Amino acid sequence: MSGSRTLATVAFADGQRVPVLGLGTWTMGERAGNAAREIAALRAGLDLGMTLIDTAEMYADGGAEKIVARAIAGRRDEVFLISKVYPHNASAKATIAACERSLARLATDRLDLYLLHWRGRTPLAETVSAFERLRRAGKIVRWGVSNFDVDDIEELLALPDGARCAANQVLYNLGERGIEWRLRALCHQHGIRIIAYSPLGQGALLTRRKLATLAASYKLTPAQLALAWLLAQREVIAIPQSSSVSHVAECRAAADVRLPPAALAAVDATFPPPQRARPLAML
C-alpha cells in the first residue's frame, strides 16, 4: 500500500500547486511554554515537505501567527501561507487592516491565500471587494472562504468577482462526511479547492474502536488510515494540527499510503457516506 516518498500535490485554479498534506495551527500560541515544541513541530513538517501552513487571526488572538513567523523564519519562500479574517473584521476597511496585522505578526509581505473564516453580517460583496483590493496590492496572492455551505458558495459565485474564490476550508473527516452530498462536487465544478480542517476530528476520531481495528488490519495507525482515506479523495488538502514532531512524522507517512479498493470499501462500510443533505458541520 506504500507509494512514492514525494508528497503529492494539488493545483489551484490558477495553476499553483501545493502539497496535499499541510500543517494546521489551531491551539498553537496559547501558552508560551509550548512555543518551542510547536515551532519544532512546524519546522519538522516543513522538512518533510508539508510546506502548506494554515493559521488565522483568531487562533490565540494572533499568537499562532507569531509562532508560524518564528517557524518559517529564513524559509518564507518555501511556504504556502494561509491565514483567515474574522467575520466581524470582514468589512471593506476592517479586512484591509486585519490583513495588515496578520502580515505583521507573520513577518511577511504577502499571504498566499486569505480566507473569510465564516459567514458574518458583512455582505459578501463587500468582503470580496476588500479581498480583491488586497490581491491587486500584492498583499495576498489569492483568496477564499471557510465554513461555506452550498447556498453560501452559490451566493458567492453570483458576485462579479466570486469566481476568483480559490478554496473553501471545511470540516471534513471520516466521522463528518456531509460535504460529500453536494458541496464537494459544487466546489470541484468551479475550481474551488477543498481544504479539510480537523481531519482527525481533533483527536476524537482516533479513539473510535472501529477505526483502530480497521487500521490495524492494514498495519496502519488510526491517524494514518484516516488521513490516507482523506487524501484519496479527489483534490482535497488536509491540514492536521500537531505540536509533536513524532505525530507530524506519523501524519506525513500517511501521504505515502495508497489504499486498495477493498480498504476504501471497508472504510465506507464502517464510516458511511451521507445519505441525505444536512447543514454543514462546523467546529
Query: Within a domain: residue 104?
Result: yes
Catalytic sites, residue numbers = 59
Q: Quick check: 4 pLDDT over 80?
A: no
Query: Within a domain: residue 205?
Result: yes
pLDDT at 2: 46
- Cell match 499571504: residue? 111
Burial letters 270-283, b for 16+ CB under 10 A, else e: ebeeeeeeeebbee
197-232 pLDDT tens trace: 999 988 788 889 999 999 999 999 999 999 999 999
Query: Within a domain: residue 70?
Result: yes
Query: Within a domain: residue 64?
Result: yes
Query: Within a domain: residue 110?
Result: yes
- Per-residue HEC secondary structure of 71-129 comes to HHCCCHHHCEEEEEECHHHCCHHHHHHHHHHHHHHHCCCCECEEEECCCCCCCHHHHHH
Please give the grid coordinates belonging to residue 129: 471587494
Q: Express as a percent the part of the chain with pLDDT over 90.
A: 94
Higher pLDDT residue, 5 or 278?
278
Q: Quick check: 88 pLDDT over 70?
A: yes
Higher pLDDT residue, 234 or 187?
187
Domain total in the chain: 1
Query: Within a domain: residue 209?
Result: yes
CATH number at residue 201: 3.20.20.100
Fill in the amino acid letter for 150.
V
Query: Within a domain: residue 277?
Result: no
20-49 pLDDT tens trace: 999 999 999 999 999 999 999 999 999 999
Query: Within a domain: residue 279?
Result: no
Rounded to the nearest 10°, the torsion over CA 6, 190, 157, 186 is: -100
Q: Quick check: 78 pLDDT over 70?
A: yes
Is 254 in contact with 1 (CB distance < 8 Å)?
Answer: no
Give the pLDDT mean for 87-112.
98
| Residues spanned by the domain of 215 | 9-270
